[in-house]
């Protein structure tokens, strides 16, 4: 069964834009889970541009109520790792962060020895704190990088699909991306890693990936929140989940 993770960061982006208490990320998490989402994803950035510290535990309480996972995206800054350890979510997805970026620009550069050691140390610390915790690493569909992931105590990778999603949106040829993901799926199976996808995906671009059975989990956020302006959050999540199940 393909899993749908809904990233609700941009509900918080709207809230932070005016400094009001609405829209509520708690209500967003509840609505998504009540209409078919398999997990909630939030990213506690070091710059706190959307999700705030208090949101993490509040959203976690909602996921616990539904018996569904909270997937907490974090960088490896010590302060953020400490918050993750205190929260004890079901999943942590380790991502790169650059304060100047509009959104995450690519996967972790695990071929850089310094980055590799930082990520490895953070994962070891997180796992030591909670033996039940599962960790994914946000990376490119690159063989060398995936083999480095296997040297870290992680359970899955989340493949950065931003370039694919952009090419799909622009009507460009996506064959090379599909081939990349087929290879990364095969390698992850060999390495014993879950094969997840996320970043930039829309209701249209995700269909191509689901039809080819390339990933077991899709984390989608910005498109869902944007489409909700026209159709409502509950309907967008419900329709997307039905679409994923029908493939």
Active site residues: 43, 73, 199
- The torsion defined by the Cα of 135, 72, 77 and 156, in degrees rounded to 10, comes to 20
Rounded Cα gap, residues 73 and 103, in angstroms: 13
Sign of the CA dihedral running 177, 69, 138, 128? negative
Name the token pair of 1. 């069964």
- At 7 the three-state DSSP class reads strand
Measured from the Cβ of residue 77, the count of other Cβ atoms closer than 10 Å reads: 15
Rounded Cα gap, residues 33 and 123, in angstroms: 28
CA-only gyration radius of the chain, Å:
17
DSSP 15: H
Nearest to 200 by CA among 166, 240, 231: 166
DSSP for 184-229?
A: HHHHHHHHT-EEEEESS--TTHHHHHHHTT--SEEEE-HHHHHHHH
């Amino acid at each position: 069964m393909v899993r749908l993770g809904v990233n609700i960061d941009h509900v918080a982006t709207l809230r932070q834009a005016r400094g009001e208490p609405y829209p509520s990320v708690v209500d967003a998490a509840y609505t998504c889970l009540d209409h078919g989402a398999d997990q909630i994803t939030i990213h506690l950035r070091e710059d706190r541009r959307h999700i705030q510290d208090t949101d993490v535990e509040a959203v976690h309480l909602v996921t616990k109520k539904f018996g569904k996972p909270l997937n907490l995206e974090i960088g490896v800054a010590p302060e953020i790792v400490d918050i993750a350890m205190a929260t004890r979510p079901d999943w942590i997805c380790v991502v790169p962060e650059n304060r100047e970026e509009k959104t995450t620009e690519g996967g972790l550069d695990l071929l850089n020895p310094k980055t590799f050691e930082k990520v490895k140390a953070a994962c070891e610390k997180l796992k030591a704190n909670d033996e039940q915790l599962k960790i994914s690493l946000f990376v490119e569909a690159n063989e060398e990088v995936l083999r480095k992931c296997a040297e870290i105590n992680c359970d899955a990778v989340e493949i950065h699909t931003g370039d694919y999603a952009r090419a799909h949106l622009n009507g460009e040829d996506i064959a090379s991306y599909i081939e990349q993901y087929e290879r990364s799926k095969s390698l992850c199976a060999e390495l014993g890693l879950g094969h997840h996808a996320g970043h930039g995906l829309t209701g249209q671009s995700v269909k191509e990936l689901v039809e080819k059975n390339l990933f077991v989990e899709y984390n989608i956020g910005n498109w869902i929140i944007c489409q909700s302006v026209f159709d409502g959050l509950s309907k967008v999540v419900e329709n997307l989940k039905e679409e994923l199940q029908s493939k």
